[in-house]
Amino acid sequence: MLKGRHLVDPQDFSIQELESIFELTQEIINKPEDFNSICHGKILSTLFYEPSTRTRFSFEAAMLRLGGGVIGFSEPGSSSVAKGESLADTLRTVAAYADIIAMRHPNEGAPKHGIKYCPVPLINGGDGGHQHPTQTLTDLFTILESKGRLDNLTIGCCGDLKFGRTVHSLIKAMSRYENVKFILVSPKELQVPDYIRTEILEQRNIQFQEVERLEEVIDQMDILYMTRVQKERFFNEADYVRLKDSYIVDLKKLKDAKEDLAILHPLPRVNEIAIEVDEDPRAWYFRQVKNGMFVRMGLILKLLGVK
Ligand code: NCD
């Protein structure tokens, strides 16, 4: 039962629970008109303490397409946060008005702390450089759509694997499926955090390699998950400038890639994927964007227990 639950970490839901969300998502995609007033009278609140385009809009569009309403802020300075209100009090207050809350916060662990004070489902829309579980739902659904399976895959993750929360969540989620291998491509300075290597990959005996050059390994990949260098999490502008263009996927780099490679990117893209790749059948990132809204529709229905 997902009704009334929070979603803080990609492992909060079992594989079967994820499957039930994906099945519902597919039903929504097949017949959206059957769902367009199912959340009439329900309210979603979006509390975004950090910038966002896709995550916030897709949550809001999801609720509106289900016939519900939306309240929230995209700029905490315009709320009582600016007066010094604690996260706990903001959540208690908003939960008095809304049936479900999606929150993005710069502090790692903020949603884990927040659920203690939140009597309605709280969804983590990204907490600092830590986790981003609804992006992962989107990514898994898109992998399923492109490959027809979530097991027996070689997944390349490329770019900022240190600060990129979407990669941390993707690795956590995908490492629960059979025979999944990871190829982690990044500059030395931007490798995955130790806890991902030790607590997830090594502990679960997942095959993985860490390399610096994409060209050497691209031919092995079923999925290439590109990421942006996370400028806002760097302490030093010079390091950002040095590392920002480490990887740019263009048609030349894709020369040795499998014909059925699926290229994903949580977006926003800065420079990591050349525009010329957008027209290539291997580019799945705009499809992924659309899936993000439908998956969130499925998630909202499950957490609200609306049938
Ligand atoms: C990602 C994020 O916010 O972590 N964006 C998103 O939610 N689709 C990736 C990023 O900002 O690079």
291 lines ligand 1 (CB under 6 A): no
CA distance 120 to 89: 14
Residues 210 and 275 reside in one and the same domain: yes
In the numeric block, the tokens 């992962």 are attached to 136
C-beta separation of 196 from 168 below 8 A: yes
Tell me the pLDDT band of 305, cut-offs 50, 70 and 90. Answer: very high
Which of 123, 135, 142, 291 has most ligand 1 atoms within 8 Å of its beta carbon, as the pocket-test mutant?
Answer: 135
CA distance 287 to 264: 9
131 lines ligand 1 (CB under 6 A): no
Tell me the pLDDT band of 178, cut-offs 50, 70 and 90. Answer: very high
Pairing of strands 223-226, 153-158: parallel
Q: For 41-79, what is each residue's pLDDT tens digit?
A: 999 999 999 999 999 999 999 999 999 999 999 999 988
Q: What pLDDT is attached to residue 73? A: 96
266 lines ligand 1 (CB under 6 A): yes
Q: What pLDDT is attached to residue 41? A: 98
Residues 15 and 34 reside in one and the same domain: yes
Q: What pLDDT is attached to residue 78? A: 87
265 lines ligand 1 (CB under 6 A): no
Indicate the residue type of 172. Answer: K
The total number of structural domains in the chain stands at 2
State the distance from the centre of ligand 1 to the C-alpha of 34, rounded, in angstroms: 30
148 domain residue, yes or no: yes
State the distance from the centre of ligand 1 to the C-alpha of 307, rounded, in angstroms: 30
Q: What pLDDT is attached to residue 79? A: 87
2 domain residue, yes or no: no
Residues 264 and 155 reside in one and the same domain: yes
CA distance 299 to 63: 10
State the distance from the centre of ligand 1 to the C-alpha of 135, rounded, in angstroms: 8
- Asked whether the whole model's pTM tops 0.75, one would answer yes
147 domain residue, yes or no: yes
Residues 119 and 262 reside in one and the same domain: no
Residues 85 and 97 reside in one and the same domain: yes
111 lines ligand 1 (CB under 6 A): no
Q: What pLDDT is attached to residue 80? A: 87
| Range 100-128 average pLDDT | 98
233 lines ligand 1 (CB under 6 A): no
Q: What is the mean pLDDT of the chain?
A: 97
Tell me the pLDDT band of 307, cut-offs 50, 70 and 90. Answer: confident
21 domain residue, yes or no: yes
Residues 173 and 196 reside in one and the same domain: yes
Q: What pLDDT is attached to residue 235? A: 81
C-beta separation of 140 from 22 below 8 A: yes
228 lines ligand 1 (CB under 6 A): yes
Q: What pLDDT is attached to residue 42? A: 98
293 lines ligand 1 (CB under 6 A): no
Q: What pLDDT is attached to residue 111? A: 98
Domain that holds residue 126: 10-131+291-304
Tell me the pLDDT band of 137, cut-offs 50, 70 and 90. Answer: very high
Q: What pLDDT is attached to residue 246? A: 87
In the numeric block, the tokens 């990871």 are attached to 182
Residue 125 CA: which ligand 1 atom is closest?
7
| Range 257-268 average pLDDT | 98
Q: How far is CA 118 from the centre of its chain?
A: 22
Residues 106 and 169 reside in one and the same domain: no
Q: Percent of the chain scored above 70 by pLDDT?
A: 100
State the distance from the centre of ligand 1 to the C-alpha of 5, rounded, in angstroms: 23
| Range 161-189 average pLDDT | 97
